[in-house]
Every structure is written in structure tokens, then in C-alpha cells.
Amino acid sequence: MENNDYLEKERVGKLLFKFAVPCILSLVISCLYNIVDQIFVGNSRVGYLGNAATGVIFPITVIGWGLSLFFGDGAAAWLSVSLGKGERESIHRGVGNAMLFTFLSGCAVILIAYLWGDGLLMLLGGTEANIGLAHDYGIIIYAMMPLALVQNCLAAIIRADGAPGYAMLAMLVGAVLNIIGDPIAIYALDLGIQGAAYATIIGQFVSFVLCAAYLFRSKTFKIGLRSFIPDFKLLSQIMALGMSSFLTQLCIVATTVVNNLLFVKYGLESKFGADIPLAAFVVIMKLFQIVLNIAIGIAAGAQPIIGYNYGAKQYGRVRRLLQLILLWTAGLCLVFTVLFEAIPAGFISMFGAGGSSQELDSGLYMEFAVPCLRIYLMFIVLTCLQKVSAIFMQSIGAAKIAAPLSFLRDILLIVCAFLVPLGLGLMGVAWAAPIADAVAIVGTAPVVLWVWRRLRRLEKEA
């Protein structure tokens, strides 16, 4: 097993680049599974109804994703702090427990999804027009969920173990297989939306195998059968550190479902109907997810470095890392903001603007989607700064601070989503996002400033 003391000796900017870039790529690649499905499905004969259908399944997959981060990010943060303190003996048990309970969580999700059936899909925003497609897509996606969640959990642990490049490679191989498989299954085999689902689960399975193989070459722990014996005291520590990530994903589910239902409700009262606003919002959420994952990748990539240095009482380096992740996040997100505001139609068109049987609807679709994208993503830079601040708190073990910051923006968004449309109608659902972003950053900034000052004080006392 290797020593990770280079995390407190190497220049922090160089370390952040080394860890953050593979982490960003890993998270963006993980988005590609669903996004690539949407691009191919949206440009197939099912058109934007296929995008609406995948959007109905999206909250269920995000719940699974959140559970994998609950245990995976928690274990990663715990592993990093343990290494910084020189406490290595119990690391293998933390990893084993995280894997075990991630798998069991995935089994629970698919059990609920299969038993609840189409009733759950209707609750998540399904309509008469898209419910059949959503059912056909979801019934296949659910099957791989336990292993897909374990793979995502392991990716976080692998990055914390000092091998972010391996985690990225495992994700990349699966994503490439999905990209290759989508056109073959959707078009050549004429499987439609089911073909997209089959291509996705094949890619996920290969990524899982690669991540599981890493356990035989890990740097800081050796996994064995005794690693999987439940240790609830240890698990509670991991879950406390992963709570911020879990709440973030739960909030994404809550905001997605609320927005799905409100876009359907107010869409029915407009000329656009229910499915056009729903399909457009699904596309916007995918773009939002890409940018958010880039920001999260910066913060999550920094997590092992932050945790190690905080455990080693190198508080000056921790402060510098906070400064860098905020600057990198702001810079990258501003670039995306400019692109979204300048060429929104180009991004929307990537996912299709109708379908072979929907030419009459494509004009209405673009008429709604373009301004909706500009409004909803207007302050995405503030969203990302708020989210990476919560991840930083998680990285230094400040779970009680990280948890409320994780869902602050999303709670505000839900409240605004109900209130703003009362005056502005359908487009008011979109305006809720920038309003919530502005209020959330006002609440987050004082907390970040307080932590910055505390780290400076600890640095002087060390």
C-alpha cells in the first residue's frame, strides 16, 4: 500500500488539476448515458415525446445516483480524512460497507419502481402521450440499477484512493459503448427507445466490471470478505459525510418532479400543451446537469486533497484550495452562461426539434424551448458556486454545515416554482430558477466567509 503524503507537499494548483480534470470528465461522462440516449431518441421517429419519456424516468435514476453518492462520497471523504490522520486500519471496512449498502439501496429502488409501475411514472410527470415510452425505457434501465450504483460508489472511492484517471477510464469505456450502441440498437435494430435503454445498461455493466477490478490493485486498502460485515458505527460516520451529496440529489429529484408537474399543468393552459414544455425542460435539465457536474467535478476532485490536508492540519493549503475551486467554478460556468444566452437554439436542436410525425409541433417546440433555456440557466454560475461550497464543507468533515447548504437553493426553487407562475403563467416556472439562485447565494456567501476566517485562525494556531 502506498503513502499519500504527496497530497500535503505538492503544489495545490498542480494537485487540483491532476485530480479535478479526471473527476470532471468522469462525471460528465456519467451524464452522457442519459444525454446520448436523449440525443438519439429525440432525433428518431419518436421525437420530443421520447425526450419527455426519458425525463419521466430521470428522477428515479437520480434517486439511485443520490444513494450511490450517499455512501460513495461519504466513504471517499472519510477515507481522505483518515489518510490525513494516519488512520488506515479500518479503511477496508468502510469501503466494503459502502459497497454493500449501495447495492442494497439499488435493490430497494428497483423493487419500488417495479411494484409501483406506471402509477409512479404518472406521478413523476407522465402523460397519456409519453407514458408507454417511459414504461418501455424504464423497465430496462431499472434492471441494472444495483450494479450501476455500486460502480458510481466505487468511482468516488477510487478517486479518493489516488487514482482519478482509472475512475475516468472506467466511465469512459462504458460511455463509448453506449454511444456506439445507441444508433445500432435504435436505428439498425429498430428497437426505438428500448434500444437506447439496452445500450445504456451494457455500458453501465462494463464500467462496473472495470471499477470492481480496481479493488485488486487499490493503493491504501485490501478488500476481503470481512470488509463487507456490517459496521453500523462506521457506516454512520460515512453517511454523515455523504449526507450533503445525497440531499443534493434528492433536491434535484424534488425540483425535477415539481417542475415536470408544473410545466404540464401550465402547459395545458397554453398553446404549447403538456408535452412540449415537459420535453423542453428535460433537455434544459440535461444541459444544466452537464455544467453542474463540471462544477461538482472540481470540488469532488479537490475532496481527497482537502480532506487529507485538513486531517494533517495544513489549513493554509485548505484555504488555497477553497479559493481555487471557487475561481475555477466561476470562470468555467461564466463561459457556459455566455454560450447558453448567445446560441440557445443550437443546444436545443442537438436533442431534436420534433420528429417525423411531429413537424407541425416543431415550430412551437422551439418557440417555447429557446426563451425557457435562456431564463432557466441565466444564473447557473450562482447555482454552481453554491453547490461547490457545500461540497467543500463536506470535504473538511463539516457535515452539519454542508447538509443545509446542499438543499438551500433547491428548497427556494420549489417555493418559487409554485409562487412565480401565479403571476407569470407558464414561463414563470422557468423564472423561478434565477430567482432562487440569487437568493441562495446571498445565504451561502456569509457561511463561506466564516469558514475562510476560521481556517485562517486555525492556520495561525497550528
pLDDT in tens, the chain (462 residues): 455 567 777 888 888 888 888 878 877 877 776 677 667 776 666 666 777 777 788 888 888 888 998 898 888 888 877 777 776 777 888 889 999 999 999 999 999 999 998 898 888 877 777 888 889 888 999 999 999 999 999 998 898 888 888 988 898 898 889 889 988 988 888 888 888 889 989 999 999 999 999 998 887 888 888 888 888 888 888 888 887 778 777 887 888 888 888 998 999 888 888 888 888 888 898 899 889 989 988 988 888 788 888 878 888 898 999 999 999 999 999 999 999 999 999 988 887 655 444 444 668 888 999 999 999 999 999 999 998 998 888 778 776 787 788 788 989 999 999 999 999 999 999 999 999 999 999 999 999 999 899 989 988 886
Tell me, yes or no, whether 334 lies in a domain.
Answer: yes
Domain count across the chain = 1
The whole-angstrom separation of Cα 361 and Cα 353 is 8
What is the Cα–Cα distance from 361 to 422, expressed in whole angstroms? 26
**Has residue 204 been placed in a domain?**
yes
Let me know: does 441 contact 298? Beta carbons within 8 Å: no
Residue 131 is predicted with a pLDDT of 86
Residue range 128-147, pLDDT digits in tens: 778 888 898 889 999 999 99
237 lies in a domain? yes
What is the pLDDT, as a whole number, of residue 275?
81
What the block records as the C-alpha cell of 288 is 444544466
All three cell numbers of 42: 429525440
**Domain assignment of residue 1, yes or no:** no
303-320: burial string, b at 16+ Cβ within 10 Å, e else: bbbbbbbbbbbbbbbbbb
Burial label for 62, CB within 10 Å (0-12, 13-18, 19+), is: buried
Helix axes 145-160, 164-183, angle to 10 degrees: 150
What type of residue sits at position 157? I
- Return the C-alpha cell found at 280: 423542453
Residue 329 contacts residue 385 (beta carbons within 8 Å): yes
Whole-prediction pTM = 0.74
Domain for residue 277, yes or no?
yes
For residue 156, give its domain range.
9-461
CB neighbour class for 335 (10 Å; exposed up to 12, middle 13-18, buried from 19):
exposed
Number of neighbours of residue 1 by Cβ within 10 angstroms: 11
Q: What is the Cα–Cα distance from 380 to 374, expressed in whole angstroms?
A: 10
In a domain, 3, yes or no: no
Crossing angle of helices 426-461 and 232-268, rounded to 10° = 150
